Chain A
């Protein structure tokens, strides 16, 4: 290989490491950070500046990885709560500040000209060694990627990205994962930046500039959001393509831009996804035999008492002074017309929303389902259940409890609507909750399925869970529930024995004469 090819190979390896670092942040944790170039820049500056003040090369290299990780952890701590675009802008602003500091702090960074690196140890001072260093950095980045994925769980991370609310309801919190992803991503990026500086022999603010981020974006979006090998391939292509196009002279970067556009048209979800789609037919549907059946009991006996719950949004009081008591082994039904505050109450109870006033006392875990099933379409039924952190054994037991073991390997998007509802219930059960909350579980189910549903909920209560069911299908609920609550305009207007509640005049008025007994459900 010529020195030229080895140099490009090294640049590609450094870019791959930076891109894989960003895959951890964006691909795994779903955080749209625009500071990947900054992570690389910090690593590059560390490996250049520290040896000039006497640090041994190895120690400087360690600092080039750990330093960016610590800095990113600290900075992300401040902005971890921000939603997509706001997080993107905050990270972009931090990256811009880094450029300004690197450019103006001349005494340390060498200013816009940058700093030459100290000559490397002799055994490292060859084109082959530089390329090797860069690809080791890329491999280390890939190791960090898979390690991160393993530690936090592929299914959990997928749930967090696609259904953040459901993830939160099951205790998977975006904030800490985001901080961890930014730190680990910056570690990988820092190594990539160190490799870049080592390859070029000089660091300058150029590496911090947005175009590094743009190159990483191109590598990851066209390659694949969660595929380190695809990032490596794309890093090679992104590095080599302009070089191949040099014969076009002045117009070569126009051609590069056009090719980039073409690539994103052809693979808008990434080459890795394209490849997966193409080979899906070839792969046999996964079939796994279920492990021996176990009973699914709540991990701890649960129960929930809420007093004086009130939630105001601006001038609107969605929930007003509601008391609630859920006991183990009991099924409580919650009815009320649209806009009565039922879903808000569920969100308060599950901690997705904070009450304006009032207290909630909870023992045991909470499991819940959503009005619109909040499943991850691309994951299989089993993976969806595992996404809330359930063990394989518990996940199978939950699938068994709802009768979906045969569909364990089918992706959620391919399941019929009814099965999707049962899968959601399986997911809630797998967490072995003491308190089980269901938001309109019967919606869209056939009569047979409703019976099945009633049986599942009764079994769960018998196993010791405290169950709360929000439902429009009043007859269905009356037959199932031990106790019934009716809300209207944020208040509880009736509670007690199901039949007493449904025949309460206030309840009938609240429904404005809507027939309570037609069983129309949804």
Chain B
């Protein structure tokens, strides 16, 4: 096991070994993540991805200082200010929760510290901040994949959308509708679900009654599983393309494989579904270190820390250096190649995974590249 980890570390660090200036003292990078509260799953993935990346960056490069943000914007600001107590770090990794990132961005601009985030909230890179760098494809990107796969590959013409009334759900839903519109499709039914909703039968039935020929979900993990199960129980027989929650192995684990037949999901990446290449190598290293399956959030955080480490190795020291490096570099990460679109969107690729009904294991059904036209 130990041997395997070392071996993968070598392979992976080759990916971001672009410089030579190795300092003795590792640079401490604050990692702000919601490791408690309702986003603890994603926050935990953030933490693990960041920790694995610091391991793989090589000795003495970066050290992650993980701080919990809970799900309150106020606590995210506390964690941010705490991280700045002993001087300005060259950069920090921000929480996945959109409203927390919204609160942090003006502070990052005021202090001049770049924030690398994996939050999908569309607004973040539309505010003109020079300090935002988003390593998970934003809703603009993944929802394009979501809509295109539904319309172009599955031939859905009358989709129904069921979304969560959370930051994640509302932001995703807006982009999904916009992308469907570009493809000339209007949803026949939409409903927002509070995360506490325990029964989605009525929404599913209304979707069916509205003449939907496909279900587009944008829900958190538990509710996604509930929707898939209840659709199965109702015998709806409609194709389901879910949001990124369905690519998470923890979501699939809630369901019988038979219920998953024909269910697909969008995501930035799907490391647990990779069967070869660097994605598989990453997934194996992650499993060995944390004894759990990796998801796209862990990988995006891993790549973000990886690119930051590469920037530091190439000599960046100050926040301004890092900002410049991240804005100028192309970085070949594990999930994809990252480069900015000028507004801080670094990730432009997405995947669609589907389940075959025989196992909990998803397979990659389609890879989209440069969905927002950034080459």
Cβ of B126 to closest chain A Cβ, rounded Å: 12
B72–A243 touching, CB < 8 Å = no
Q: Inside 8 A of A204's CB, which chain B residues have their CB? A: 73, 99, 167
The stretch from B79-87, B210-218, B259-267, B277-285 touching chain A is B79-87
* Complex Cα gap A100–B194 (Å): 9
* Complex Cα gap A250–B165 (Å): 28
B77–A7 touching, CB < 8 Å = yes
The stretch from A108-116, A230-238, A423-431, A490-498 touching chain B is A108-116
Complex interface residues of chain B between 75 and 100 (CB less than 8 A to chain A):
77-78, 81-82, 84-85, 98-99
* A 1-35 to B, binary, CB cutoff 8 A, 1 in contact else 0: 01110011001000000000000000000000000
A202–B99 touching, CB < 8 Å = yes
Cβ of A14 to closest chain B Cβ, rounded Å: 9
* Complex Cα gap A196–B71 (Å): 16
* Complex Cα gap A252–B194 (Å): 29
Cβ of B260 to closest chain A Cβ, rounded Å: 28
Interface size on A, residues (CB 8 A): 31
Q: Inside 8 A of A119's CB, which chain B residues have their CB? A: 106
A112–B35 touching, CB < 8 Å = no
Does A103 have its Cβ within 8 Å of any Cβ on chain B? yes
Using known A-B contacts A116-B106, A201-B106, A202-B99, determine if residue A7 contacts B81 with beta carbons closer than 8 Å.
Answer: yes
A252–B170 touching, CB < 8 Å = no
* Complex Cα gap A116–B104 (Å): 10
Cβ of A88 to closest chain B Cβ, rounded Å: 20
Does A384 have its Cβ within 8 Å of any Cβ on chain B? no
Cross-chain pairs A/B with CB under 8 angstroms, 9 sampled? A4-B81, A4-B85, A103-B166, A112-B99, A112-B170, A199-B74, A201-B77, A243-B78, A246-B82
Main SS at interface, chain A: helix
Complex interface residues of chain B between 179 and 196 (CB less than 8 A to chain A):
192, 194
Cβ 8 A contact of B36, one of A112, A116, A253: A253
Using known A-B contacts A3-B84, A104-B192, A116-B106, determine if residue A111 contacts B77 with beta carbons closer than 8 Å.
Answer: no
Q: Inside 8 A of A163's CB, which chain B residues have their CB? A: none
A residues lining the B interface (CB < 8 Å)? 2-4, 7-8, 11, 100, 103-104, 106, 111-114, 116, 119, 196, 199-202, 204, 206-207, 211, 243, 246, 249-250, 252-253
* Complex Cα gap A267–B166 (Å): 38
Does B102 have its Cβ within 8 Å of any Cβ on chain A? yes
Interface size on B, residues (CB 8 A): 33
* Complex Cα gap A243–B191 (Å): 39
Cβ 8 A contact of B99, one of A113, A250, A253: A113
Cβ of B174 to closest chain A Cβ, rounded Å: 9
B67–A104 touching, CB < 8 Å = no
B167–A4 touching, CB < 8 Å = no
* Complex Cα gap A206–B165 (Å): 13
Cβ of B275 to closest chain A Cβ, rounded Å: 33
Beyond A112-B170, A113-B123, A253-B70, list 10 extra A-B contacts (CB 8 Å): A2-B81, A4-B78, A104-B165, A111-B170, A113-B121, A116-B102, A200-B73, A200-B74, A252-B68, A253-B36
Q: Inside 8 A of B170's CB, which chain A residues have their CB? A: 106, 111-113
The list of the 3 closest CB pairs from A to B, nearest first, reads A4-B81, A202-B103, A113-B167
Cβ of B111 to closest chain A Cβ, rounded Å: 8
Does B66 have its Cβ within 8 Å of any Cβ on chain A? yes
Cβ 8 A contact of B103, one of A111, A116, A211, A243: A116
B77–A200 touching, CB < 8 Å = yes
B82–A4 touching, CB < 8 Å = yes
Using known A-B contacts A2-B85, A201-B106, determine if residue A113 contacts B78 with beta carbons closer than 8 Å.
Answer: no
Does B294 have its Cβ within 8 Å of any Cβ on chain A? no
Looking across the interface, which residue of chain B has its beta carbon closest to that of A100?
Answer: B194
* Complex Cα gap A199–B68 (Å): 19
Q: Inside 8 A of A246's CB, which chain B residues have their CB? A: 67-68, 82
Cβ of A172 to closest chain B Cβ, rounded Å: 40
Q: Inside 8 A of A250's CB, which chain B residues have their CB? A: 35, 68
* Complex Cα gap A211–B75 (Å): 13
A114–B85 touching, CB < 8 Å = no
* Complex Cα gap A106–B72 (Å): 19
Q: Inside 8 A of B36's CB, which chain A residues have their CB? A: 253
* Complex Cα gap A8–B81 (Å): 9
Looking across the interface, which residue of chain A has its beta carbon closest to that of B111?
Answer: A3
A202–B73 touching, CB < 8 Å = yes
Looking across the interface, which residue of chain B has its beta carbon closest to that of A249?
Answer: B66
Looking across the interface, which residue of chain A has its beta carbon closest to that of B164?
Answer: A112
